[in-house]
Amino acid sequence: MFDASVYTARRDALRSKVKGGVILLPGHVDSPINNAANCYRFRQDSNFAYYFGIYKPGMVGVIDEGGRSIIYGDDVSLDDIVWTGPVPTVREQAEEVGVKTTRPLRDLPADLQVAIRKGQRMHIAPPYRAETVLQLSEWLGLMPTHVRNYASEELIAAIISMREVKSAGEIEELDRIAEVGYEMQTAAMRMAQPGEQENTIFGVLEGIAATGGNLTSFGSIISQHGETLHNDKHFDILREGRLLLVDCGVEAYSNYVTDNTRTIPVGGTFTPQQLDMYNLVLQAQEYGIAHSKSGVRYLDVHLGVCGVIVEGLRAMGLVRGDVKEAVEIGVQGLFFPHGLGHMMGLDCHDMESLGETLVGYSRDVARSKQFGLSALRCAKELKEGFVVTVEPGIYFIPELIDQWKAQGVMKGFINYDEVEKYRNFGGIRLEDDIVITAGGCRIIGKKRIPIAPADVTAEVQKGRFAGKK
């Protein structure tokens, strides 16, 4: 992905941040579907990709106490070549990323044991795949249930401090892959016609992602029930008058991703009720973008966005009372029960395997327990080079409305009779990915995915005419 010097500099910086001990970064092995030889599409561990830059299974990266980088891995045999074709050697691949020392994988456990006997600490990141747990258990002689307890806070903090600030090269790659994300979203708009199946759109987006990248960056949400936040069902037929929420992204072979949400009126026409609510979400989203800049806590941007939403809902008669007070006690939780966004980069929820709170919060910004606000993934002060999503939404979740109404939650602020009129509304979310710049921020990608109501409608209309040809 990058020049060898980039990876060498990253490893040197990591080594200087982590005092002593062995830094052990296992790359991924293949992940079996239904037998050992039939695996999901390979996807490298993001930390390994960031520091060792090789996108092949079965490699392990080590930075020893003396600062030397070593890649452990095995070459393919001639018998395998009949099945896989010629493959570069581990040594050739290591050279590409500035690593001079390579060893067969079987040497790793003994090498680690030598270091352990010398009293050197093993710095590992928290494993999230069972394969990695098993490997670490075996290599380090730990009980599998205890492996996670050995994750190194020092290593985690060092990695976060480096990966959270994206370099120009990383942003270039994010801009590049954003074009595929654009294609996915606009394809969905053109297909948002009555009678079309959610599933067909799902399949087409899978295809676009697999053509332009390696994978979708997460299971695409393509649903006329946008009020279910992580709806993985997509088996309905599109109906005129419904809103289709499309939250999807692509992941490049480099692991860099996109993550965008648009909410599309099936057939291309918003009802007046939908249009009012859509414009409110859009206003909130643009408030979020306008206020994201270096030195500002993302928590405060989130709370500002909540203010916009509550203010708008008050104008519509769904909420009453003082806006500031309403936001403080969390009235917005009924309508917007998640956070404004998360960091993004080599992962969609960037570095989330290292610990969501460690990534998104800092010593001076603690996590709230308030419903809704507690789901905010990124709250800390923004810095130049941060990449975050801006994704407010307004949803009408029947189960949640019933629960709050029955318990009379914040009934002084919430006009439940008015809320009931939106019971079958569904949900709206709008999401762009931004990078914090010197002057403020900008949206990732060469052009913004259509978001103004007229632009979305126009894109849907294109598909309607294409279908009628």
Residues forming contacts to a copy of itself in the complex (CB under 8 A) are: 31-41, 43, 45-46, 78, 81-86, 128-131, 133-134, 137-138, 144-145, 197, 199-200, 202-212, 215, 218-219, 225, 228-233, 255, 337, 347-349, 352-353, 397, 399-400, 403
Closer by beta carbon to a copy of itself, 374 or else 437: 374
Closer by beta carbon to a copy of itself, 60 or else 451: 60
Q: How far is the CB of 42 from a copy of itself (least distance, A)?
A: 8
Closer by beta carbon to a copy of itself, 101 or else 211: 211
Closer by beta carbon to a copy of itself, 140 or else 282: 140
Q: How far is the CB of 202 from a copy of itself (least distance, A)?
A: 6
Write b or e for each residue in 443-466: b if 16 or more Cβ atoms lie within 10 A of its Cβ, otherwise e.
bbbeeebbbeeeebbebbbebeee
Q: How far is the CB of 106 from a copy of itself (least distance, A)?
A: 15
* SS3 of the chain: helix, strand, coil, percent, to 5: 45, 15, 40
How many whole angstroms separate alpha carbon 226 and alpha carbon 230?
Answer: 8
Reference 354, options 145, 138, 164, 146; nearest CA is: 164
Residue whose entry in the numeric block shows the structure tokens 């680690």: 112
Closer by beta carbon to a copy of itself, 228 or else 279: 228
Tokens of 46: 């993001």
Write b or e for each residue in 359-374: b if 16 or more Cβ atoms lie within 10 A of its Cβ, otherwise e.
bbbeeebebeeeebbe
Closer by beta carbon to a copy of itself, 16 or else 84: 84
Q: How far is the CB of 449 from a copy of itself (least distance, A)?
A: 19
Q: HEC states along 267-320?
A: HHCCCHHHHHHHHHHHHHHHHHHHHCCCCCEHHHHHHHHHHHHHHHHHHCCCEC
Closer by beta carbon to a copy of itself, 8 or else 228: 228
Q: How far is the CB of 96 from a copy of itself (least distance, A)?
A: 17
Q: How far is the CB of 197 from a copy of itself (least distance, A)?
A: 8
Phi-psi sector, 449: left (phi>0), alpha (psi -120 to 50), beta = beta
Whether 27 and 57 have beta carbons less than 8 Å apart is answered as yes
Q: How far is the CB of 174 from a copy of itself (least distance, A)?
A: 16
